[in-house]
Every structure is written in C-alpha cells, then in structure tokens.
Amino acid sequence: MDPVQRAILRADPRLSKFDPLPRILFFDNFTTGMSGWNVLLGNYTESLDRRLPEYKLMTTPMLSNVTHWDGGTHGALDGSYAMKIATRPIRLAQTVALKRLTFPKACPIQLETWFTFKPEASELKLSELDVRSIGFIFDVQDQARRVLPQIRYLNAMDGKPAHRWQYKDKCIPFSDVGEKTVSVFHYGEEYWEDVPGGEQRLCYNEIPTKINWHYVKVGWDLRTMRFTTLQCNDRVFDISHLGGIEIKAMPNLWNLFNVILSVGTDVDKRAFAYFDSILVSGDWE
C-alpha cells in the first residue's frame, strides 16, 4: 500500500483500526443498516422441509445495540449498532450469517472484523464456557474447485475451556435435497484440527453482560487456495501452509465469494456473536 493511501486510511477513525489490503471490497459498520448480511438458508427444493436439520435451527441476523437487562445499552465499538447472530437455546445449535458476492479477480483477500461473543444472560453466573465457538469462513470457487476455508475460535467444548483456534479441511459427504440441488452441513463438529500454536485466551470479562471487542484478521489467496494469515489482537498465527475443504467445482457457483460468520452454543442456552464492523479487502488491479 502506498504511503498516501495508508495515511488516508489511518486518518479515518472508522478505518484506522483496520489493516486492509489495497482495495476495500466492502466495509460494513451497521450504523446505517444490515448492509447485505443474511441468514444462511439451507439448500432445498420443493419444500423448506428438505433442508438439512442443522440449517433449520438457524436464525436471522439482527441489528443490535448490545443491550443487557442489568446495564442497559452497551452500544457498539463504533456507533450504536452491531450485527448480532444468535443460536437457539439448544446445545450444539449454530447460526450462520453471510454476505454473498463474487470475486472480481483471483487475488489475495482478507476479512477483518471487530467482534465479541456472549451467552444469553439467563443465569446470574459467569457462564464463560457456554459459547462453544465463533467461526470465520469463506466459500469460494474458481474454474476447477470449490473451496471452503474454515477457521473457528473454539471457546469451550463439553463444559471445558478450549481457548484455541482451529481449521478444517475435510468434509462429510453431500446430501441430495432434490432435483439438481445438494447440501452439506460443513460447519459441524467433525474434522476440526488445531491451528499449530493456536492457543489464545480472549477477554471474556467478569459477568455475562459486560462485553469487550476483539480484532481478527483472516487472509486467503484465491490464486493458491491457501490461507495467508490469521491474527487475533496481538497474536499472529502462521497458517500459510493450510487450506480449506476442497471439492470439485459445482454448477452455478463460478467466482463464488461468500464471507461467512458463525456462532455455536455448548449448552442449552442462546449464544450470541456481535460484529461491530466488518471490512473485506483484496489486492487486485
């Protein structure tokens, strides 16, 4: 990035906390609306009943000002509103929200977001092990293959602290959901592997209704179909040797580029993930 562009970015208080690649594809801070984010709708034909069961549990994202019963409105990091995704109060339920686009050119791309996560404050307990995971995922396809690079922060598993980053490069088989359409729930608990050296403790705070925003950056190269970087706050993890789930290119998904966020609960309680702002950038001419 040239010095002038860098200086301009650094001078903008909304962008200064990001470290984008030279071209910003989108920047959403949810103060003016939902900006194109929606619930992941499981594939189906003929009837919504044909969706796989895990997709039926997903709920629509919300514009939230992060209000709690005891402390009132927490607000976002920048402005009042953040995007919130919420699971149902069912152990291992997940909710996924995404923004769908196509990539203009195969190049390095990067997701950055300021986020936080909390369980619903339905108990007057610390509840720090109630949220299972929060995921940062792409779904891309070139002329030969569809690739799903998946990263998650595993906060807790079966009531025990996990506090580490994981990736996934294998997938269960696809299911036929009728006519020409297939589906797979690739967000499930199978095949997750630890990112080497990926242990990290995040700030949970001291009660369920106090939140602190965290920075994360996930980079991917659409030319090599490999990760470029993973950073969360002051920790940088070398994941440049890692890839995602790879399958043969599918019809109707050419140049697919979906940016995907997920949250999962470890207990029969709603888990919430909040995103103050999301910036996706690339390096193309």
Partner 1 sequence: MTIREAYTAVIAQAETWKGAAATEPYEAAWAGEAVVFLRLLKKGKGNLRNVRVRVQISPDGMHWADEGAALRIPADETKVTFCRVTNFGHYLRLAATLPRGAECQVLATLSLKA
Contact 169, 242 (CB under 8 A): yes
Rounded to the nearest whole angstrom, what is the least distance from the CB of residue 13 to partner 1 in the complex?
Answer: 21
- Tokens 């990539």 — which residue? 103
Is residue 9 close enough to count as binding partner 1 by CB under 8 A? no
Structure-block tokens of residue 14? 């909304």
Distance, CA of 218 to CA of 229 (rounded, Å): 6
- Tokens 């196509």 — which residue? 102
Is residue 265 close enough to count as binding partner 1 by CB under 8 A? no
Is residue 99 close enough to count as binding partner 1 by CB under 8 A? no
Rounded to the nearest whole angstrom, what is the least distance from the CB of residue 120 to partner 1 in the complex?
Answer: 7
Is residue 88 close enough to count as binding partner 1 by CB under 8 A? yes
Distance, CA of 273 to CA of 262 (rounded, Å): 8
At residue 55, what are phi and psi to the nearest 5 degrees?
-70, -25
Answer for which of 1, 9, 15, 34 binds partner 1 (CB under 8 A) is: 34
Distance, CA of 78 to CA of 86 (rounded, Å): 21
Distance, CA of 173 to CA of 52 (rounded, Å): 13
Structure-block tokens of residue 191? 């095949």
Is residue 68 close enough to count as binding partner 1 by CB under 8 A? yes
Is residue 74 close enough to count as binding partner 1 by CB under 8 A? no
User: Interacting stretch for partner 1, rule CB under 8 A, among 26-34, 149-157, 183-191, 246-254?
Assistant: 26-34
Is residue 43 close enough to count as binding partner 1 by CB under 8 A? no
Using the minimum distance from each CB to partner 1, give the nearer residue, 214 or 270. 270
Q: Which of 170, 137, 141 is nearest to 151 (CA)?
A: 137
* Contacts with partner 1, 112-141, as mask; x by CB under 8 A: --------xxx-------------------
Distance, CA of 6 to CA of 252 (rounded, Å): 37
Alpha helices of the chain — where are they, by DSSP H?
3-11, 53-56
Number of residues that bind partner 1 (CB under 8 A): 26
Is residue 62 close enough to count as binding partner 1 by CB under 8 A? yes
Using the minimum distance from each CB to partner 1, give the nearer residue, 60 or 102. 60
Binding site for partner 1 (CB under 8 A): 32-34, 39, 41, 47-49, 51, 56, 59-60, 62-65, 67-69, 81, 84, 86, 88, 120-122
